[in-house]
Structure 1
Amino acid sequence: MNSIISLNDISYSYDKKPVLQHVNFELPKGAFVGLLGPNGGGKTTLIKIILGMARPDQGTVTLFNKPINEFKDWNKIGFVSQKSNSFNKGFPATVYEVVSTGLTSKVGYFKFFKQKDKEKILSAIDAVGMSEYTNQNIGNLSGGQQQRIFIARALVSEPELIILDEPTVGIDSENVQRFYELLHDLNKHNGITLLLVTHDTGTMTKYATDIVCLNRTLHFHGKPEEYARLTEKEMSKLYGHPVNIVSHDH
Protein backbone atom coordinates (compact mmCIF):
# COMPACT_ATOMS: atom_id res chain seq x y z
CA MET A 1 0.00 0.00 0.00
CA ASN A 2 1.27 3.46 -0.97
CA SER A 3 0.47 5.22 2.31
CA ILE A 4 0.76 8.96 2.83
CA ILE A 5 0.08 8.63 6.57
CA SER A 6 0.90 5.61 8.70
CA LEU A 7 0.07 5.52 12.42
CA ASN A 8 1.35 2.60 14.44
CA ASP A 9 0.07 1.92 17.99
CA ILE A 10 -0.59 5.58 18.83
CA SER A 11 -1.59 6.36 22.42
CA TYR A 12 -1.95 9.77 24.02
CA SER A 13 -3.10 11.01 27.43
CA TYR A 14 -3.96 14.48 28.70
CA ASP A 15 -3.72 15.09 32.45
CA LYS A 16 -3.38 11.32 32.85
CA LYS A 17 -6.71 10.76 31.08
CA PRO A 18 -6.50 8.51 27.98
CA VAL A 19 -7.46 10.39 24.81
CA LEU A 20 -6.16 7.88 22.25
CA GLN A 21 -5.40 4.22 22.83
CA HIS A 22 -3.46 1.96 20.45
CA VAL A 23 -4.58 3.59 17.21
CA ASN A 24 -3.37 2.01 13.97
CA PHE A 25 -4.26 3.72 10.72
CA GLU A 26 -3.09 3.87 7.10
CA LEU A 27 -4.11 6.66 4.72
CA PRO A 28 -3.48 5.53 1.12
CA LYS A 29 -2.56 7.97 -1.62
CA GLY A 30 -5.60 9.20 -3.53
CA ALA A 31 -8.15 8.37 -0.80
CA PHE A 32 -10.92 10.62 0.53
CA VAL A 33 -11.25 9.52 4.16
CA GLY A 34 -14.02 10.67 6.47
CA LEU A 35 -12.91 10.62 10.12
CA LEU A 36 -16.03 10.26 12.28
CA GLY A 37 -16.65 9.91 15.99
CA PRO A 38 -18.24 11.54 19.04
CA ASN A 39 -17.12 14.79 20.62
CA GLY A 40 -14.19 14.06 22.90
CA GLY A 41 -13.36 10.90 20.95
CA GLY A 42 -9.86 12.12 20.06
CA LYS A 43 -10.32 13.21 16.43
CA THR A 44 -8.73 16.66 16.75
CA THR A 45 -5.95 15.25 18.93
CA LEU A 46 -5.18 12.69 16.24
CA ILE A 47 -4.95 15.47 13.65
CA LYS A 48 -2.57 17.42 15.90
CA ILE A 49 -0.36 14.34 16.20
CA ILE A 50 -0.32 13.89 12.43
CA LEU A 51 0.63 17.56 11.96
CA GLY A 52 3.39 17.35 14.56
CA MET A 53 1.55 19.70 16.95
CA ALA A 54 1.37 17.03 19.66
CA ARG A 55 3.66 14.13 20.48
CA PRO A 56 2.12 10.73 21.28
CA ASP A 57 2.99 8.96 24.51
CA GLN A 58 3.74 5.87 22.45
CA GLY A 59 3.66 4.74 18.85
CA THR A 60 5.10 6.06 15.60
CA VAL A 61 3.91 8.46 12.90
CA THR A 62 5.15 8.14 9.32
CA LEU A 63 4.42 10.80 6.69
CA PHE A 64 5.21 10.11 3.03
CA ASN A 65 7.33 7.11 4.11
CA LYS A 66 9.44 9.16 6.52
CA PRO A 67 9.32 9.19 10.35
CA ILE A 68 7.65 12.42 11.40
CA ASN A 69 10.82 13.68 13.14
CA GLU A 70 12.63 13.41 9.78
CA PHE A 71 9.82 14.81 7.66
CA LYS A 72 10.59 18.32 6.38
CA ASP A 73 8.43 18.84 3.31
CA TRP A 74 5.38 20.26 5.08
CA ASN A 75 4.27 21.99 1.87
CA LYS A 76 2.97 18.59 0.82
CA ILE A 77 0.28 18.92 3.50
CA GLY A 78 -2.45 21.56 3.53
CA PHE A 79 -4.64 22.15 6.58
CA VAL A 80 -8.08 23.73 6.89
CA SER A 81 -9.43 24.17 10.41
CA GLN A 82 -12.86 24.97 11.77
CA LYS A 83 -13.92 28.47 10.82
CA SER A 84 -14.61 29.28 14.44
CA ASN A 85 -13.68 32.95 14.09
CA SER A 86 -15.35 34.38 11.00
CA PHE A 87 -13.76 37.35 9.34
CA ASN A 88 -15.71 40.45 10.26
CA LYS A 89 -16.87 43.01 7.73
CA GLY A 90 -13.93 45.27 8.47
CA PHE A 91 -11.16 42.67 8.13
CA PRO A 92 -8.68 44.41 5.79
CA ALA A 93 -7.75 41.60 3.39
CA THR A 94 -8.92 40.65 -0.07
CA VAL A 95 -9.48 37.10 -1.25
CA TYR A 96 -6.22 37.35 -3.22
CA GLU A 97 -4.28 38.47 -0.15
CA VAL A 98 -5.67 35.69 2.06
CA VAL A 99 -4.86 32.98 -0.49
CA SER A 100 -1.37 34.42 -1.00
CA THR A 101 -0.54 33.70 2.67
CA GLY A 102 -0.49 30.02 1.72
CA LEU A 103 2.76 30.68 -0.15
CA THR A 104 4.65 32.51 2.60
CA SER A 105 6.39 29.33 3.78
CA LYS A 106 7.82 28.91 0.29
CA VAL A 107 8.39 32.53 -0.70
CA GLY A 108 9.04 34.02 2.74
CA TYR A 109 7.53 36.98 4.56
CA PHE A 110 7.93 40.56 3.25
CA LYS A 111 9.05 39.36 -0.19
CA PHE A 112 7.49 40.18 -3.53
CA PHE A 113 5.71 37.43 -5.40
CA LYS A 114 7.09 36.45 -8.78
CA GLN A 115 4.78 36.12 -11.76
CA LYS A 116 4.61 32.33 -11.37
CA ASP A 117 3.53 32.78 -7.72
CA LYS A 118 0.78 35.19 -8.75
CA GLU A 119 -0.39 32.65 -11.32
CA LYS A 120 -0.53 29.95 -8.63
CA ILE A 121 -2.66 32.21 -6.42
CA LEU A 122 -5.10 32.98 -9.22
CA SER A 123 -5.18 29.31 -10.25
CA ALA A 124 -6.02 28.22 -6.69
CA ILE A 125 -8.84 30.78 -6.48
CA ASP A 126 -10.16 29.58 -9.84
CA ALA A 127 -9.97 25.93 -8.71
CA VAL A 128 -12.51 26.63 -5.96
CA GLY A 129 -14.78 28.62 -8.28
CA MET A 130 -14.16 32.02 -6.69
CA SER A 131 -12.36 33.98 -9.43
CA GLU A 132 -15.04 36.67 -9.59
CA TYR A 133 -14.37 37.47 -5.92
CA THR A 134 -10.57 37.78 -6.21
CA ASN A 135 -10.41 41.45 -5.22
CA GLN A 136 -13.27 41.44 -2.75
CA ASN A 137 -12.83 41.76 1.00
CA ILE A 138 -13.08 38.26 2.48
CA GLY A 139 -15.12 39.61 5.38
CA ASN A 140 -17.96 40.33 2.95
CA LEU A 141 -18.26 36.71 1.81
CA SER A 142 -20.65 34.09 3.16
CA GLY A 143 -19.41 31.31 5.42
CA GLY A 144 -19.41 28.80 2.58
CA GLN A 145 -17.52 31.19 0.30
CA GLN A 146 -14.94 31.88 2.99
CA GLN A 147 -14.30 28.17 3.42
CA ARG A 148 -13.69 27.88 -0.32
CA ILE A 149 -11.05 30.57 0.07
CA PHE A 150 -9.44 28.65 2.93
CA ILE A 151 -9.32 25.62 0.61
CA ALA A 152 -7.65 27.81 -2.03
CA ARG A 153 -5.11 28.96 0.56
CA ALA A 154 -4.30 25.31 1.27
CA LEU A 155 -4.18 24.50 -2.45
CA VAL A 156 -1.80 27.27 -3.44
CA SER A 157 1.28 25.45 -2.13
CA GLU A 158 0.29 22.48 -4.34
CA PRO A 159 -0.11 19.91 -1.53
CA GLU A 160 -0.60 16.19 -2.07
CA LEU A 161 -2.70 15.90 1.10
CA ILE A 162 -5.27 18.25 2.62
CA ILE A 163 -6.52 17.70 6.19
CA LEU A 164 -9.78 19.40 7.16
CA ASP A 165 -11.00 19.62 10.76
CA GLU A 166 -14.80 20.06 10.74
CA PRO A 167 -14.66 22.78 8.07
CA THR A 168 -18.44 23.04 7.58
CA VAL A 169 -19.29 24.26 11.09
CA GLY A 170 -21.62 27.24 10.82
CA ILE A 171 -22.26 26.84 7.07
CA ASP A 172 -25.83 26.50 5.80
CA SER A 173 -26.92 23.18 4.29
CA GLU A 174 -26.95 24.36 0.66
CA ASN A 175 -23.37 25.62 0.84
CA VAL A 176 -22.29 22.51 2.75
CA GLN A 177 -23.42 20.41 -0.22
CA ARG A 178 -21.46 22.61 -2.64
CA PHE A 179 -18.44 22.44 -0.36
CA TYR A 180 -18.44 18.63 -0.36
CA GLU A 181 -18.86 18.59 -4.14
CA LEU A 182 -15.76 20.80 -4.38
CA LEU A 183 -13.79 18.37 -2.20
CA HIS A 184 -15.02 15.44 -4.28
CA ASP A 185 -13.83 17.20 -7.45
CA LEU A 186 -10.40 17.99 -5.96
CA ASN A 187 -10.02 14.35 -4.96
CA LYS A 188 -11.24 12.80 -8.21
CA HIS A 189 -9.90 15.23 -10.79
CA ASN A 190 -6.88 16.81 -9.07
CA GLY A 191 -5.72 13.63 -7.34
CA ILE A 192 -5.47 15.29 -3.92
CA THR A 193 -5.70 12.95 -0.93
CA LEU A 194 -8.19 14.18 1.68
CA LEU A 195 -8.64 13.47 5.39
CA LEU A 196 -11.82 15.12 6.66
CA VAL A 197 -12.95 15.28 10.29
CA THR A 198 -16.74 15.60 10.38
CA HIS A 199 -19.97 14.64 12.13
CA ASP A 200 -21.87 14.46 8.84
CA THR A 201 -22.16 10.69 8.46
CA GLY A 202 -24.79 10.87 5.73
CA THR A 203 -22.68 13.02 3.43
CA MET A 204 -19.54 11.02 4.05
CA THR A 205 -21.12 7.79 2.89
CA LYS A 206 -21.88 9.58 -0.39
CA TYR A 207 -18.49 11.18 -1.11
CA ALA A 208 -15.75 9.40 0.85
CA THR A 209 -13.74 6.44 -0.38
CA ASP A 210 -13.17 5.24 3.19
CA ILE A 211 -14.75 5.79 6.61
CA VAL A 212 -12.86 5.74 9.89
CA CYS A 213 -14.68 5.84 13.24
CA LEU A 214 -12.62 6.94 16.22
CA ASN A 215 -13.66 6.91 19.88
CA ARG A 216 -10.34 6.86 21.73
CA THR A 217 -9.45 3.77 19.73
CA LEU A 218 -10.26 2.87 16.13
CA HIS A 219 -13.62 1.09 16.10
CA PHE A 220 -14.23 0.97 12.36
CA HIS A 221 -12.21 1.39 9.16
CA GLY A 222 -13.84 0.40 5.90
CA LYS A 223 -15.79 1.41 2.82
CA PRO A 224 -18.82 3.74 2.98
CA GLU A 225 -21.18 0.96 1.94
CA GLU A 226 -19.94 -1.18 4.85
CA TYR A 227 -20.42 1.70 7.27
CA ALA A 228 -23.92 2.36 5.91
CA ARG A 229 -24.90 -1.25 6.68
CA LEU A 230 -24.10 -0.91 10.39
CA THR A 231 -27.12 -1.31 12.66
CA GLU A 232 -28.12 1.22 15.30
CA LYS A 233 -26.84 -1.22 17.93
CA GLU A 234 -23.45 -1.45 16.22
CA MET A 235 -23.32 2.33 15.79
CA SER A 236 -24.13 2.85 19.46
CA LYS A 237 -21.25 0.57 20.37
CA LEU A 238 -18.89 2.60 18.17
CA TYR A 239 -20.00 5.93 19.60
CA GLY A 240 -20.39 4.83 23.21
CA HIS A 241 -24.01 6.03 23.42
CA PRO A 242 -27.35 5.43 21.65
CA VAL A 243 -27.34 6.58 18.02
CA ASN A 244 -30.29 7.13 15.71
CA ILE A 245 -29.43 6.67 12.04
CA VAL A 246 -30.91 9.45 9.90
CA SER A 247 -31.09 9.32 6.12
CA HIS A 248 -29.72 12.34 4.22
CA ASP A 249 -30.84 11.18 0.78
CA HIS A 250 -33.12 14.19 0.40
Structure 2
Amino acid sequence: MVENHVIELEDITAAYDEQPVLWDLDLNIKKGSLLGIIGPNGAGKSTLLKIILNLLSPISGRIRFSIDGETSPKKARKKIAYVPQNGSVNWDFPATVSDIVLMGRYGHIGWCKRPTRADKLIAKEMLSRVGMDEYEHRQINELSGGQQQRVFLARALAQQASVYLLDEPFKGVDVQTEKIIVDILKDMQTHNQTIVVVHHALQTVPLYFDQVAMINRQLIAAGPVEKTFTPENIDKTFSPLQKEHMTDGNNTLI
Protein backbone atom coordinates (compact mmCIF):
# COMPACT_ATOMS: atom_id res chain seq x y z
CA MET A 1 0.00 0.00 0.00
CA VAL A 2 0.98 3.61 -0.53
CA GLU A 3 2.21 5.01 2.78
CA ASN A 4 -0.46 7.72 3.24
CA HIS A 5 -3.42 5.53 2.26
CA VAL A 6 -5.66 4.06 4.97
CA ILE A 7 -7.94 2.13 2.58
CA GLU A 8 -7.38 0.97 -0.99
CA LEU A 9 -10.17 -0.54 -3.08
CA GLU A 10 -9.17 -2.29 -6.29
CA ASP A 11 -11.44 -3.60 -9.08
CA ILE A 12 -14.47 -3.77 -6.78
CA THR A 13 -17.62 -5.24 -8.32
CA ALA A 14 -20.78 -5.68 -6.22
CA ALA A 15 -24.40 -6.62 -6.85
CA TYR A 16 -27.80 -7.01 -5.21
CA ASP A 17 -29.92 -9.90 -6.48
CA GLU A 18 -27.45 -10.39 -9.33
CA GLN A 19 -27.92 -6.76 -10.44
CA PRO A 20 -24.53 -4.97 -10.47
CA VAL A 21 -24.41 -1.75 -8.48
CA LEU A 22 -20.64 -1.23 -8.64
CA TRP A 23 -18.16 -2.59 -11.13
CA ASP A 24 -14.39 -2.40 -11.50
CA LEU A 25 -14.19 0.45 -9.00
CA ASP A 26 -10.79 1.64 -7.80
CA LEU A 27 -10.51 4.15 -4.96
CA ASN A 28 -7.73 5.17 -2.57
CA ILE A 29 -8.63 6.92 0.68
CA LYS A 30 -5.86 9.10 2.09
CA LYS A 31 -5.09 9.44 5.78
CA GLY A 32 -6.39 12.71 7.21
CA SER A 33 -8.65 13.50 4.26
CA LEU A 34 -12.23 14.76 4.38
CA LEU A 35 -13.61 12.89 1.39
CA GLY A 36 -17.02 13.47 -0.16
CA ILE A 37 -18.55 10.59 -2.13
CA ILE A 38 -21.02 11.97 -4.66
CA GLY A 39 -23.12 10.51 -7.43
CA PRO A 40 -26.73 10.05 -8.54
CA ASN A 41 -29.27 7.91 -6.72
CA GLY A 42 -28.45 4.24 -7.22
CA ALA A 43 -24.83 4.98 -8.09
CA GLY A 44 -23.49 2.66 -5.38
CA LYS A 45 -22.39 5.25 -2.80
CA SER A 46 -23.90 3.54 0.25
CA THR A 47 -22.89 0.16 -1.15
CA LEU A 48 -19.28 1.35 -1.18
CA LEU A 49 -19.41 2.06 2.57
CA LYS A 50 -20.98 -1.34 3.26
CA ILE A 51 -18.19 -3.07 1.37
CA ILE A 52 -15.55 -1.22 3.40
CA LEU A 53 -17.35 -2.27 6.60
CA ASN A 54 -17.77 -5.89 5.40
CA LEU A 55 -21.57 -5.54 5.60
CA LEU A 56 -21.62 -6.62 1.96
CA SER A 57 -19.11 -8.86 0.21
CA PRO A 58 -18.02 -7.80 -3.28
CA ILE A 59 -18.30 -10.25 -6.15
CA SER A 60 -14.71 -9.50 -7.07
CA GLY A 61 -11.88 -7.16 -6.21
CA ARG A 62 -9.83 -6.58 -3.09
CA ILE A 63 -9.64 -4.15 -0.20
CA ARG A 64 -6.44 -3.29 1.64
CA PHE A 65 -6.19 -1.49 4.97
CA SER A 66 -3.48 0.35 6.85
CA ILE A 67 -5.13 2.06 9.81
CA ASP A 68 -2.81 2.97 12.67
CA GLY A 69 -0.48 0.25 11.45
CA GLU A 70 -3.21 -2.40 11.34
CA THR A 71 -3.32 -4.20 8.00
CA SER A 72 -5.51 -7.12 9.08
CA PRO A 73 -9.02 -6.34 7.75
CA LYS A 74 -10.65 -7.61 10.96
CA LYS A 75 -8.45 -5.50 13.23
CA ALA A 76 -8.46 -2.46 10.95
CA ARG A 77 -12.27 -2.39 10.79
CA LYS A 78 -12.36 -2.05 14.58
CA LYS A 79 -10.80 1.37 14.04
CA ILE A 80 -13.64 2.47 11.75
CA ALA A 81 -16.81 4.17 13.03
CA TYR A 82 -20.01 4.30 11.00
CA VAL A 83 -22.97 6.69 10.99
CA PRO A 84 -25.82 5.13 8.95
CA GLN A 85 -28.52 6.98 7.08
CA ASN A 86 -31.18 8.38 9.39
CA GLY A 87 -33.93 6.52 7.54
CA SER A 88 -32.26 3.12 8.03
CA VAL A 89 -32.56 3.22 11.84
CA ASN A 90 -35.46 1.78 13.85
CA TRP A 91 -36.29 4.79 16.00
CA ASP A 92 -38.98 2.88 17.94
CA PHE A 93 -36.26 0.95 19.78
CA PRO A 94 -36.64 1.88 23.49
CA ALA A 95 -33.36 3.55 24.39
CA THR A 96 -32.27 6.83 25.89
CA VAL A 97 -29.85 9.20 24.21
CA SER A 98 -27.19 8.21 26.74
CA ASP A 99 -27.76 4.50 25.98
CA ILE A 100 -27.25 5.10 22.27
CA VAL A 101 -23.98 6.98 22.73
CA LEU A 102 -22.64 4.39 25.18
CA MET A 103 -23.06 1.77 22.45
CA GLY A 104 -20.03 3.41 20.85
CA ARG A 105 -17.92 2.19 23.78
CA TYR A 106 -18.78 -1.52 23.47
CA GLY A 107 -16.03 -2.11 20.94
CA HIS A 108 -13.61 -1.22 23.76
CA ILE A 109 -15.31 -2.89 26.72
CA GLY A 110 -17.20 -5.82 25.12
CA TRP A 111 -20.95 -6.37 24.96
CA CYS A 112 -21.07 -8.49 28.13
CA LYS A 113 -19.45 -5.91 30.41
CA ARG A 114 -20.94 -2.81 31.99
CA PRO A 115 -19.65 0.62 30.95
CA THR A 116 -17.17 2.06 33.42
CA ARG A 117 -17.24 5.57 34.84
CA ALA A 118 -14.61 6.51 32.26
CA ASP A 119 -16.83 5.20 29.44
CA LYS A 120 -19.76 7.24 30.73
CA LEU A 121 -17.60 10.36 30.91
CA ILE A 122 -16.49 9.85 27.29
CA ALA A 123 -20.13 9.45 26.21
CA LYS A 124 -21.11 12.60 28.08
CA GLU A 125 -18.21 14.50 26.52
CA MET A 126 -19.26 13.47 23.01
CA LEU A 127 -22.88 14.45 23.67
CA SER A 128 -21.64 17.85 24.75
CA ARG A 129 -19.51 18.09 21.62
CA VAL A 130 -22.60 17.70 19.40
CA GLY A 131 -24.68 20.01 21.60
CA MET A 132 -26.98 17.28 22.93
CA ASP A 133 -25.87 16.88 26.56
CA GLU A 134 -29.16 18.34 27.85
CA TYR A 135 -31.04 15.47 26.19
CA GLU A 136 -29.09 12.53 27.62
CA HIS A 137 -32.08 11.09 29.51
CA ARG A 138 -34.60 11.56 26.69
CA GLN A 139 -35.86 8.65 24.59
CA ILE A 140 -34.25 8.65 21.14
CA ASN A 141 -37.65 8.48 19.42
CA GLU A 142 -38.70 11.76 21.07
CA LEU A 143 -36.07 13.76 19.19
CA SER A 144 -36.23 15.53 15.85
CA GLY A 145 -34.39 14.09 12.84
CA GLY A 146 -31.54 16.56 13.24
CA GLN A 147 -31.19 15.79 16.94
CA GLN A 148 -31.19 12.05 16.26
CA GLN A 149 -28.43 12.50 13.69
CA ARG A 150 -26.31 14.39 16.21
CA VAL A 151 -26.77 11.58 18.73
CA PHE A 152 -25.58 8.99 16.22
CA LEU A 153 -22.57 11.15 15.43
CA ALA A 154 -21.84 11.30 19.17
CA ARG A 155 -22.03 7.49 19.28
CA ALA A 156 -19.46 7.28 16.48
CA LEU A 157 -17.22 9.82 18.23
CA ALA A 158 -17.42 7.75 21.42
CA GLN A 159 -15.74 4.90 19.54
CA GLN A 160 -12.61 7.08 19.33
CA ALA A 161 -11.92 5.64 15.90
CA SER A 162 -9.36 6.72 13.31
CA VAL A 163 -11.64 6.49 10.26
CA TYR A 164 -15.26 7.65 10.13
CA LEU A 165 -17.80 6.69 7.47
CA LEU A 166 -20.99 8.77 7.33
CA ASP A 167 -23.88 7.93 5.01
CA GLU A 168 -25.72 11.14 4.02
CA PRO A 169 -25.44 12.79 7.47
CA PHE A 170 -27.00 16.05 6.23
CA LYS A 171 -30.10 14.51 4.69
CA GLY A 172 -33.26 15.88 6.32
CA VAL A 173 -31.47 17.82 9.06
CA ASP A 174 -31.88 21.47 10.05
CA VAL A 175 -29.36 24.18 9.20
CA GLN A 176 -28.00 24.32 12.76
CA THR A 177 -27.35 20.57 12.85
CA GLU A 178 -25.63 20.66 9.46
CA LYS A 179 -23.29 23.43 10.62
CA ILE A 180 -22.51 21.58 13.87
CA ILE A 181 -21.68 18.38 11.99
CA VAL A 182 -19.51 20.15 9.40
CA ASP A 183 -17.58 22.01 12.10
CA ILE A 184 -16.96 18.76 14.00
CA LEU A 185 -15.79 16.94 10.87
CA LYS A 186 -13.36 19.73 10.00
CA ASP A 187 -12.03 19.75 13.56
CA MET A 188 -11.54 15.97 13.39
CA GLN A 189 -9.54 16.42 10.20
CA THR A 190 -7.16 18.80 11.97
CA HIS A 191 -6.39 15.87 14.30
CA ASN A 192 -5.46 13.71 11.29
CA GLN A 193 -8.61 11.61 11.44
CA THR A 194 -9.99 10.36 8.13
CA ILE A 195 -13.62 11.09 7.24
CA VAL A 196 -15.61 9.69 4.32
CA VAL A 197 -19.05 11.21 3.71
CA VAL A 198 -21.71 10.12 1.23
CA HIS A 199 -23.12 13.47 0.12
CA HIS A 200 -25.86 14.67 -2.22
CA ALA A 201 -25.81 18.50 -2.27
CA LEU A 202 -23.42 19.50 -5.04
CA GLN A 203 -23.34 23.19 -4.13
CA THR A 204 -21.65 22.49 -0.77
CA VAL A 205 -18.98 20.07 -2.01
CA PRO A 206 -16.27 22.78 -2.35
CA LEU A 207 -17.17 24.15 1.10
CA TYR A 208 -17.17 20.88 3.04
CA PHE A 209 -14.50 18.63 1.52
CA ASP A 210 -10.87 18.70 0.44
CA GLN A 211 -11.16 15.43 -1.54
CA VAL A 212 -14.00 14.16 -3.69
CA ALA A 213 -14.83 10.84 -5.36
CA MET A 214 -17.44 11.01 -8.11
CA ILE A 215 -19.09 7.69 -8.86
CA ASN A 216 -21.87 6.35 -11.02
CA ARG A 217 -21.49 2.60 -10.53
CA GLN A 218 -17.91 3.12 -11.66
CA LEU A 219 -15.40 5.68 -10.48
CA ILE A 220 -15.70 8.74 -12.72
CA ALA A 221 -13.03 10.86 -11.01
CA ALA A 222 -11.31 11.22 -7.64
CA GLY A 223 -8.84 13.68 -6.14
CA PRO A 224 -8.58 17.17 -4.66
CA VAL A 225 -11.86 19.09 -4.94
CA GLU A 226 -10.35 22.06 -6.76
CA LYS A 227 -8.98 19.83 -9.53
CA THR A 228 -11.63 17.10 -9.65
CA PHE A 229 -15.00 18.76 -9.02
CA THR A 230 -15.23 20.28 -12.49
CA PRO A 231 -18.24 20.90 -14.77
CA GLU A 232 -16.91 18.22 -17.12
CA ASN A 233 -16.74 15.58 -14.38
CA ILE A 234 -20.14 16.65 -13.02
CA ASP A 235 -21.61 16.13 -16.50
CA LYS A 236 -20.02 12.68 -16.69
CA THR A 237 -21.42 11.74 -13.28
CA PHE A 238 -24.93 13.19 -13.38
CA SER A 239 -27.61 13.47 -16.02
CA PRO A 240 -29.10 16.98 -16.63
CA LEU A 241 -32.30 15.99 -14.78
CA GLN A 242 -30.36 14.76 -11.75
CA LYS A 243 -28.30 17.95 -11.66
CA GLU A 244 -31.46 20.07 -11.73
CA HIS A 245 -32.64 18.38 -8.53
CA MET A 246 -29.31 19.04 -6.79
CA THR A 247 -29.11 22.82 -7.13
CA ASP A 248 -29.27 25.33 -4.30
CA GLY A 249 -32.54 26.90 -5.42
CA ASN A 250 -30.84 29.38 -7.74
CA ASN A 251 -30.00 26.74 -10.36
CA THR A 252 -26.35 27.06 -9.39
CA LEU A 253 -24.34 23.92 -8.83
CA ILE A 254 -21.15 25.46 -7.55
Q: What TM-score, normalized to structure 1?
A: 0.86
Residues 144-155 of structure 1 correspond to what in structure 2 (within 5 A)? Answer: 144-155=146-157
- Residue segments in structure 1 that go unaligned for 5+ positions in a row: none
Q: Deviations over 1:171-202 (max 9, x none)?
A: 134432332223222223x4321100011122
Paired letter, 1:182: I
Q: Tell me what 1:247 maps to.
A: 252
**Cα separation, 1, equivalents of 2:47 and 2:159:** 24
Q: Tell me what 1:142 maps to.
A: 144
Asked if the contact 2:33/2:211 (under 8 Å) is kept, the reply is: yes
Q: Tell me what 2:35 maps to.
A: 33
Q: Deviations over 1:10-52 (max 9, x none)?
A: 1223344332121111111110000000111111111111111
**Cα separation, 1, equivalents of 2:14 and 2:172:** 29
**Cα separation, 2, equivalents of 1:193 and 1:213:** 18
Paired letter, 1:79: Y
- Structure 1 residues 42 and 187, CA gap change in structure 2 (3 angstroms): same
**Cα separation, 2, equivalents of 1:55 and 1:11:** 9
What SS class does the counterpart of residue 74 from structure 2 fall into?
coil
Correspondent of 1:44 among 38, 43, 46: 46
What SS class does the counterpart of residue 121 from structure 1 fall into?
helix
- Percent identity of equivalent pairs: 33
Residues 170-185 of structure 1 correspond to what in structure 2 (within 5 A)? Answer: 170-185=172-187
Q: Deviations over 1:184-238 (max 9, x none)?
A: 22223x432110001112222111110100111100112222344424xx42322
Q: Tell me what 1:127 maps to.
A: 129
State the aligned residue count.
243
Q: Tell me what 1:103 maps to.
A: 105
RMSD: 2.4
Paired letter, 1:184: K
Q: Deviations over 1:90-143 (max 9, x none)?
A: x64322111011122332335322222122212222222322322333333322
Paired letter, 1:101: M
What is the CA distance between 1:86 and its match in structure 2?
6.7
**Cα separation, 1, equivalents of 2:125 and 2:23:** 42
What SS class does the counterpart of residue 104 from structure 1 fall into?
helix
Q: Tell me what 1:81 maps to.
A: 84
Asked if the contact 1:75/1:157 (under 8 Å) is kept, the reply is: no
Q: Is 1:238 matched with 2:237? A: yes
- Residue segments in structure 2 that go unaligned for 5+ positions in a row: none
Q: Tell me what 2:114 maps to.
A: 112
- Structure 1 residues 20 and 186, CA gap change in structure 2 (3 angstroms): same
